[in-house]
Structure 1
Amino acid sequence: MKKIMIVDDQPIIRKMILLALQDEHFVLTEACDADSAYQLMLKDKPDGIVLDVMMPGQLNGFQLCERIKQSPELSGIHVVLVTACGQIADQEFGRALGADAYFVKPFSPVALAMHMKEALLKEST
């Protein structure tokens, strides 16, 4: 089973992503901000994270992505940014920080689920 954490301050977005990612191969957890997500992932490292960029708290999604990718313990987490920050510069910035994929809101939950399955289950098939 692969663990995926969904981090977004909007409950409706988290619910939509949870529904899209429901799969027998995934264990899903959620957090409402980057600060609590970071604390959770230190205790129980996920295999993947679906991460909003603009959230309340001390950390935004870009900062958490950078922190994950710079950490020897966490750098292997597959980070997918899902955000309304859709400018090319935002996408390039996210990728420069280490994001493995970037989805712009509104996005296709089906495409996100397909991406996560492909990224996290490829070694299982």
Structure 2
Amino acid sequence: MDKDSMQAKILVVEDHADIRRLIRWALEDTGHTLYEAPNGTLGLEMARTVQPDLVYLDLMMPGGLDGIEVCAQIRKEPSLAHTLVVMLTADAAQATKAKSLAAGANFFLPKPFSPAKLLELTEVLLKARPRPEAGPERS
């Protein structure tokens, strides 16, 4: 498979600029296209526009929409059905994890996380994702 076919669009929705910077640094050499949003409301708008393959979504964000609400909205949009959602949070409680997964998250990554772990998770999830068929259908 050539490099272009493995490229993905990744949206990072995180209110802390230092964490967005860490994620960008960890993924900048992967060939994926990165998008960033500082809050849930803008993150949801960007998801609708960009149609990302993967969203890293902070659970607790001030104002507007939190990560659970953004994830639930993504899951309601047919055009985003293919989007993988990884919930990021410092709250690693089992109840928080269950709430995230119930909202439609595919994975739960507790903070703090290492750049290496983030990179590994990104590659594993993107390789395993269902991909739409390319080209015309054969009869």
- Tell me if structure 2 keeps the 8 A contact 1:69–1:76: no
What is the identity, as a one-letter code, of the residue corresponding to 1:65? C
Any unmatched runs of 5+ in structure 1?
none
What is the rounded CA distance, in whole Å, between the counterparts of 1:85 and 1:32 in structure 2? 19
1:105 maps onto 2:111 in alignment: yes
User: Which position in structure 2 is the counterpart of 1:53?
Assistant: 59
What is the rounded CA distance, in whole Å, between the counterparts of 1:53 and 1:103 in structure 2? 10
What is the rounded CA distance, in whole Å, between the counterparts of 2:123 and 2:61 in structure 1? 26
User: Which position in structure 2 is the counterpart of 1:6?
Assistant: 12
Q: 3-state DSSP class of the match of 2:79?
A: coil
User: What is the TM-score with the length of structure 2 in the denominator?
Assistant: 0.83
What is the rounded CA distance, in whole Å, between the counterparts of 2:97 and 2:41 in structure 1? 22
Give 1:122 deviation, angstroms.
4.1
For 1:22-33, list aligned pairs within 5 A.
22-33=28-39
User: Which position in structure 2 is the counterpart of 1:77?
Assistant: 83
RMSD, matched Cα: 1.5
Highest Rg: 1 or 2? 2
What is the identity, as a one-letter code, of the residue corresponding to 1:56? P
What is the identity, as a one-letter code, of the residue corresponding to 2:32? F
What is the rounded CA distance, in whole Å, between the counterparts of 1:2 and 1:39 in structure 2? 18
Q: 3-state DSSP class of the match of 1:23?
A: coil
What is the rounded CA distance, in whole Å, between the counterparts of 1:54 and 1:109 in structure 2? 20
Give 1:22 deviation, angstroms.
1.8
